[in-house]
Amino acid sequence: MTGSAPSTDLPLSGKVAIVTGTSRGVGVGIAHELLRAGATVIGCSRGELPGLPGAETVEGGAERSRQWVCDQGQIASIEAFVTRVVEEFGRIDILVNNAGGTVPSPSPEAVPELVQKIQGSPRAADEFERSALFHAFAVQMNLISPLWFALRVYREMRNQDGTGSIVNISSGAGHPAGAPTLVSYGAAKSGLDHLTRSLAIEWGPTARVNCLALGPTMTDNFQQFVLGEDSEGATYFKDVPLGRAGTPAEVGRTVVFLCSGQADYINGTTIEMDGGMLPGVLYENGLKAITDLL
């Protein structure tokens, strides 16, 4: 542990947490709330950054955080990152599998080049090949990579005292009602919910494994690629009973709850955190910002 020790009254004081995908968006909100709750947080993303963004806004946050490079699409990168965390901090109490996401596509079988480019999957001139690679990438980033991270972190947790906590960040797109425009992403997130339950059964009491299925959550990408010109969300949020998007900080506070002693007997569950939105209502609105760009 480095830096000034946080008050022992804090719920996660002394805990070491990994959060994936902390260069922007929801991951930053999760990391900040874990820091506020007293944890040491090691975040990661694919590019080099000078530190965890905004950590200095939390008391002692800059000292108790790191931001290191890790590409969760590469097994060797996960191995090197987790090994480094254990070498520097001695243990891992918390893993938040947050990195992920995708972009809506007007049709599953003909993914446009621009949609593929925004998502970041490998390029291909051929429409079938491009679509196939787009869907494979969505499943890799939203299901397989979180499983890889969990497998690697569990190897540490099983050799430690206490019960670790793994939280997977899922999506309302995984609802059994289906996810038109987000077919592979929805299937991957649905798989993540199922994986949560299975790993909880396999790994208790060494680790508790839970999941948070997010509805609309306000980030720069959400603003740009989902709301688009409907920047206040007047059309979008009419289908959300609470009339707004959630915030990364709200997600972070629920993650803190799930990792704290308050949730010691919560295991294998998926909490829907979506303002009460009904399944399947948001896909047309969500696609509009992308079709406007095409």
Ligand X SMILES: NC(=O)c1ccc[n+]([C@@H]2O[C@H](COP(=O)([O-])OP(=O)(O)OC[C@H]3O[C@@H](n4cnc5c(N)ncnc54)[C@H](OP(=O)(O)O)[C@@H]3O)[C@@H](O)[C@H]2O)c1
Residues forming contacts to ligand X in the complex (CB under 6 A) are: 20-27, 44-47, 70-73, 98-101, 169, 171, 214, 216-217, 219, 221-222
CA distances from 131 to 58, 109, 141, 212 (A): 42, 6, 16, 28
- Say how far apart CA 253 and CA 217 lie, in whole Å: 14
- Within 13 Å of residue 227, how many CA atoms lie on the same side as its CB? 19
Cβ proximity to ligand X, 61 vs 216, nearer residue: 216
154 catalytic residue (yes or no): no
Looking at residue 246, what DSSP letter applies?
A: B
Nearest residue to the partner ligand X, using Cβ? 25
Q: How far is the CB of 41 from ligand X (least distance, A)?
A: 14
Q: Which of 25, 46, 147, 24 is nearest to 97 (CA)?
A: 147
Neighbours of 116 (CB within 10 A): 20
**Looking at 185, 236, 265, 283, which residue is catalytic?**
185
Cβ proximity to ligand X, 154 vs 237, nearer residue: 237
Q: How far is the CB of 55 from ligand X (least distance, A)?
A: 14
Q: How far is the CB of 179 from ligand X (least distance, A)?
A: 11
Q: How far is the CB of 53 from ligand X (least distance, A)?
A: 9
Cβ proximity to ligand X, 34 vs 44, nearer residue: 44
51-67: buried (b, 16+ CB within 10 Å) or exposed (e) per residue?
Answer: ebbbbeebebbbbbbbb
Cβ proximity to ligand X, 38 vs 82, nearer residue: 82
Cβ proximity to ligand X, 42 vs 44, nearer residue: 44
Cis peptide before 205 (omega within 30 of 0): yes
CA angle 168, 234, 223 (to 5 degrees): 45
* 273: phi then psi, degrees, rounded to nearest 5: -125, 80
Q: How far is the CB of 45 from ligand X (least distance, A)?
A: 3
| Residues noted as catalytic | 185
